């Protein structure tokens, strides 16, 4: 049997200024800061996690704020646009809301149709391409609306709906997607070739753009760093890890991130994938009500807490989450 994933677990991107990041994702997009931590490999850098009220897998967009980096060089072997899922009928609300917040640096595009769905593309204040998509959740997907959001519950961002990937050549990436993760090609719309797992609903999609002339992409501010895919438990993660190796990938060992366990692999074109377990989740080290309010460190960094805190810029939560 082919190993498969249920869909996206989380997406991690590179931001500029951390306060601008917080102000936009909490204050404007109305997401909840569910974890305030540091990059475990670079602990003088924040790692900020935004999600639904519960931090459910499939809702979590995270950032490393690295304002000293140059802007992303878009191109081959990089994830590009991130799709955020909203309920059908919400796009007009979002168009007005984003336009009212243009002072944050957000650049709002025109509503368009992709694969028969209404989509609103925009660039966040760090230049990252995002598209709001009116689409449907899949079978067991959980979304917990947040009652302290600046956005009404029925308009809130419900999911990481999908992601775009740019490659110079379709193969060998498409073969890897199929054999390692169980993605199948289902349709194309203009330059986009859609690959799906499961029911192909919100969070179960990769849109591939093949561009022979694309330069090699390079991480920078506004880049997607990696896309993590769901594994229900350790066993499902081991099966995916095995399938990745069978497909010619070189997965890392399992790394304990405490909120989930992670395996990383670069696909043949270079883009970074992760396989993350659904559990134990963000309430393993903080109470549900106070998620994101204080700095959480991995245990081996606790002895250095005061030096780490002193090196990090101060952050002030937007009114909505105080």
- Chain residues binding Zn ion by CB under 5 A are 12, 228, 274
- The DSSP bridge partners found for residue 10 are 60, 228
Nearer to Zn ion, 166 or 224 (CB): 224
What is the pairing mode between strands 107-108 and 117-123?
antiparallel
The answer for residues whose C-beta is within 8 angstroms of residue 268's C-beta and 6 or more apart is 172, 173, 176, 248
**Minimum distance of Zn ion from residue 168's CB (angstroms):** 25
**Minimum distance of Zn ion from residue 112's CB (angstroms):** 29
**Minimum distance of Zn ion from residue 262's CB (angstroms):** 6
Q: Is 63 helix (H, G, I), strand (E, B) or coil?
A: strand
Nearer to Zn ion, 134 or 274 (CB): 274
Nearer to Zn ion, 94 or 259 (CB): 259
Phi, psi dihedral angles at 296 (to 5 degrees):
-105, 130
Nearer to Zn ion, 124 or 274 (CB): 274
Q: Which two tokens stand for residue 261?
A: 């366990």
**Minimum distance of Zn ion from residue 236's CB (angstroms):** 17
Nearer to Zn ion, 135 or 274 (CB): 274
Helices (H), the chain: 18-22, 91-100, 173-176, 234-246, 305-311
**Minimum distance of Zn ion from residue 226's CB (angstroms):** 6
Q: Which two tokens stand for residue 207?
A: 């849109």
């Amino acid at each position: 049997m082919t190993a498969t994933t249920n869909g996206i677990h989380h997406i991690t991107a590179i931001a500029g200024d951390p306060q601008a990041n917080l102000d936009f994702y909490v204050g404007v997009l109305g997401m909840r800061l569910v974890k305030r931590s540091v990059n475990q490999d670079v602990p003088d850098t924040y790692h900020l996690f935004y999600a639904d009220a519960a931090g459910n897998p499939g809702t979590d967009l995270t950032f490393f704020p690295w304002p000293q980096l140059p802007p992303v060089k878009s191109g081959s072997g990089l994830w590009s646009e991130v799709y955020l899922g909203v309920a059908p009928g919400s796009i007009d609300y979002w168009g007005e809301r984003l336009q009212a917040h243009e002072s944050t640096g957000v650049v709002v595009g025109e509503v368009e149709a992709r694969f028969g769905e209404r989509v609103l593309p925009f660039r966040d204040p760090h230049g990252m391409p995002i598209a709001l998509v009116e689409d449907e959740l899949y079978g067991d997907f959980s979304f917990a609306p947040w009652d302290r959001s600046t956005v009404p519950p029925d308009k809130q961002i419900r999911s990481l709906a999908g992601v775009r990937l740019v490659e110079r050549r379709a193969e060998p990436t498409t073969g890897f997607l199929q054999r390692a993760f169980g993605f199948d090609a289902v349709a194309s719309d203009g330059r986009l070739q859609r690959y799906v797992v499961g029911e192909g609903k919100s969070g179960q999609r990769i849109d591939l753009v093949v561009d022979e002339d694309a330069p090699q992409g390079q991480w920078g501010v506004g880049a997607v760093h990696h896309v993590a895919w769901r594994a229900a438990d350790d066993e499902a993660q081991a099966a995916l890890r095995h399938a990745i190796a069978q497909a010619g990938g070189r997965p890392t060992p399992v790394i304990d991130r405490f909120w989930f366990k992670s395996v990383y692999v670069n696909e043949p074109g270079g883009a970074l994938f992760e396989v993350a377990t659904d559990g134990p989740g963000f309430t393993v080290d903080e109470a549900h009500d106070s998620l994101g309010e204080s700095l959480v460190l991995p245990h081996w960094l606790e002895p250095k807490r005061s030096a780490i805190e002193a090196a990090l810029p101060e952050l002030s939560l937007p009114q909505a989450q105080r």
